[in-house]
Amino acid sequence: MTELITNQDLDPARLREAFGIFPTGVVAVAAEVDGLLVGLAASSFTSVSLDPPLVSFSISRTSKTWPDLRRSRHLGVTVLADHQSAVCRQLAGAPEHRFVGVPVRISDDGAVTLDGGLARFECTIHAEVEAGDHVVVLLRLHAVDQSDTSSPLVFHRSGFGKLAV
């Protein structure tokens, strides 16, 4: 029988590097709260359930934006396209500059989605599950709109790439 080889060196830097081997897309999670656009970039987005329609993403417990964002009646989630890497970095940068020059749509319920994205979801918070230094946020979908005419932005090993078709 093969012996299971364990590696106990699970320090955060090493883990971050290992997690980065797994390629993901990137979404913008955003809303209008008290008249201001708030949001951030997230690569932890994933689909969860068709019935009921659920998706999830993980938010750091240190996030300064999440306490405001979660107050919105609806949240917008936009799947970013491969030409939106600069917008993505902007959405992870200084909060007061995140939406400067970024064309958005705002729904009646405050969900903010980005023009030029590949898919747009309008959501409410279904559940928040504490998970270590992050909170897993389950979002219930209320509307979906897709215009996937270009390719998705791919996040891999801390850098951006495109799908090779």
Alpha-carbon gap, residue 71 to 33, rounded angstroms: 7
Please enumerate in sequence order all residues whose Cβ is within 8 A of that of 120, keeping only pairs 6 or more positions apart, or say none. Answer: 76, 77, 78, 79, 105, 113, 114, 144, 145, 146
In the bound complex, what is the minimum distance in angstroms from residue 91's beta carbon to ligand FMN? Answer: 6
Q: In whole angstroms, how large is the CA radius of gyration of the chain?
A: 17
Q: Which is nearer to ligand FMN, 96 or 108 (CB)?
A: 96
In the bound complex, what is the minimum distance in angstroms from residue 111's beta carbon to ligand FMN? Answer: 18
Binding site for ligand FMN (CB under 6 A): 26, 40-44, 57-60, 63-66, 88-89, 91-92, 95, 155
Q: Give the closest residue to 29 by CA, choosing from 96, 100, 104, 97.
A: 104
In the bound complex, what is the minimum distance in angstroms from residue 65's beta carbon to ligand FMN? Answer: 3
Q: Which is nearer to ligand FMN, 41 or 102 (CB)?
A: 41
10 Å CB burial of residue 162 (0-12, 13-18, 19+) is middle
Q: Which is nearer to ligand FMN, 30 or 141 (CB)?
A: 30
Angle at 39 between CA 37 and CA 42, to 5 degrees: 160
In the bound complex, what is the minimum distance in angstroms from residue 10's beta carbon to ligand FMN? Answer: 19
Q: Which is nearer to ligand FMN, 108 or 157 (CB)?
A: 157
